Chains A and B, each alone.
Chain A
Amino acid sequence: MSRLRRFLRTPEAVAGTLLLAVLFAMALSASLLFPGDPQAIAGPALLPPFQDWSLPLGTDRLGRDVLAELFHGARTSLAVGLAAAAAALVVGAIVGTLAGFAGGLVDEVLMRIADAFQTVPGFLLALAFVSVVGPSLGVVVVAIALGTWTGPARIARAEVLSIRERDYVAGARVIGMHPMEIAFREVLPNALPPVLAMSSVIVAAAILTEAALSFLGLGDPNRVTWGGMIAEGRTVLRTAPFLSIVPGIALVLTVLSVYLAGEGIVETTAVRRGLS
């Protein structure tokens, strides 16, 4: 349990984990505490915060409950962030393992494709993808993953390059295991730790990209998103700036807690490798 103790001794990591737990609780309890459509009109329009205790954070331009929107937005943010990061990590780990283990032409082709993906600004690619396929939660997840899988792929490949020369891989060859089986059952699991160490950065980036996409009106129109709330509040920025500021603070706290908790976990499990 020394790892846990070391983790608990880092105040930043503990704060991040607690904050993240609160956000998850918000996301999970959204339907319980605020049943019904969060996009439905709940009171008079543009009610300032802390005026009416049935609507603690006030209402937006259309009279929707800001607190309810905030809770439901937490759900979208975390769901999209986690799903996009998971997709990017899985695709990246598989592509990286294939490239590193197969070598030769396969490696060359896969890495040039990764180069191409890294050359196009990820956000522009996500923008193009969503505008082609149409905005929905799944499409946004894929759009974000398109721009982020290359990082995990490169790290997995570098790791596989060193692992494939190890004795147990040679042993697996000798007993006649199929190369695909060696790649995915022997090599890939051992190449995972440094790839997983990136996950907090990727989740954080995915949450920020989702927010930016929905800020530009390319999020799922049927769901409340913090980015969408900020964009909505922007139209009344002069008279009611809190409508844009409140969801932004929620975003900052979410991303920060992901960073802090992730950094704490990586540091205590010591899989960190020369990355700042």
Chain B
Amino acid sequence: MTRALVLLRRRLIGSIFVLLIVVIGTFLLLEAAPGDAVDAYIVSTGGDAGMIELLRHRWGLDQSELTRLANYLWALLHLDLGQSVTFSRPIRDVILERLPTTLILMVSATALSFGLGSALGIYAGARPGSFRDRFLSVASLALYAVPGFWLGLVLIVIFAVDLRWLPIGGIETLASDRTGLDRAADIAIHLVLPVSALGFIYLALYLRMMRAGMAEAWRQDFVLAARARGLSRRRIVLAHVARNALLPLVTMLGLQSAQMLGGSVVIESVFAVPGLGRLAQEAVAARDTPLLLGIILTSAVLVILINLLVDIAYAFLDPRVGASEAGA
């Protein structure tokens, strides 16, 4: 797989530049915020002018903007994101603590939307123009118009308040001392509603892409050839039409990752899931700009990594992809 390696190297070099732009841009944006970490700290703890001076000096906030940017980049090279004022802990530790929750939420929601979306897309696209095709087309558009956070609230009203089948929020039952599989099952039950709220919105996207791709594939010569060979309709749909329509969906997985991450900010807030998105909201509320900067950077790295993985997967799935097309 030397082609894949060349592709990987080119993407990595490009990613470093992109990441540098993200760091500098976000740093400058958050610099423009009125007040700094010291103000935020003093508001919560109280202190006099002397203490403010001392803290500014200790945290290096009395230096020029450029010096601080350079210091930040230098620290970043050592994977140091600085100290969080609100948590009084290294930002890296706070983020790493919250990241797994968001990852589980994202991966589950992606699996739901991709799996169910492409399956329904195949179902609709197998008979273009039929009633079920038109129905699913409009239904998916309606679903795509639903705000995720509102769907979350509706699901809470139905399944947690009225039916009492599922917990109203949180990631696990507090103070229950569960371990092993028992704990995993508890977390899974807590995740059903947030994953549905996040996943069902994007389901529509995959459904529509799959359907459009299949409509395209039906017109190709290889479908005609398959028919001429007397293959069953079922086999043509699955092995020829759907298979060819599936590839663009894989690319979409990468492109959607940033959206999914943004969507989880609101969903985590609705269901009180202690993940990265909720952390971002806490950072905004507490005016903890270094923490917010760290979260944005982590998300950017995550999005880049997911897209790299998708590219590699794509190179394996489609032998036509060469290194020359990798830059597109």
Contacts and interface: CB of A to CB of B under 8 A. Distances in A.
A27 B307 CA distance: 41
Given A119-B300, A124-B299, A128-B292, A251 B147 contact: yes
Contacts of A252: 142, 145-147, 150
B14 to A, nearest CB: 8
Q: Is the interface on chain A under 10, 10 to 19, 20 to 34, or 35 or more residues?
A: 35 or more
Contacts of B90: none
Nearest to B255: A118
Contacts of B303: 119-121
B295 interface: yes
Contacts of B211: 276
B189 interface: no
Contacts of B144: 255, 259
A237 B299 contact: no
Interface string B291-302: 010011001100
B258 A120 contact: yes
Main secondary structure, interface of B, reads helix
The size bracket of the interface on B is: 35 or more
A124 B19 CA distance: 16
Interface string B155-199: 011000100000000000000000000000000000000000000
A159 B285 CA distance: 42
6 contacts: A121-B261, A132-B289, A216-B266, A244-B150, A256-B142, A256-B145
Contact of A215 (B30, B33, B149, B295): B149
Interface string B128-148: 000000000010011011111
Interface string B60-97: 00000000000000000000000000000000000000
A260 interface: yes
A147 B19 CA distance: 16
A215 B151 CA distance: 13
A122 B256 CA distance: 11
Contact of B18 (A119, A127, A147): A119
Given A122-B262, A212-B149, A252-B145, A245 B154 contact: yes
Interface stretch (A54-62, A109-117, A174-182, A184-192): A109-117
A122 B259 contact: yes
Contacts of B99: none
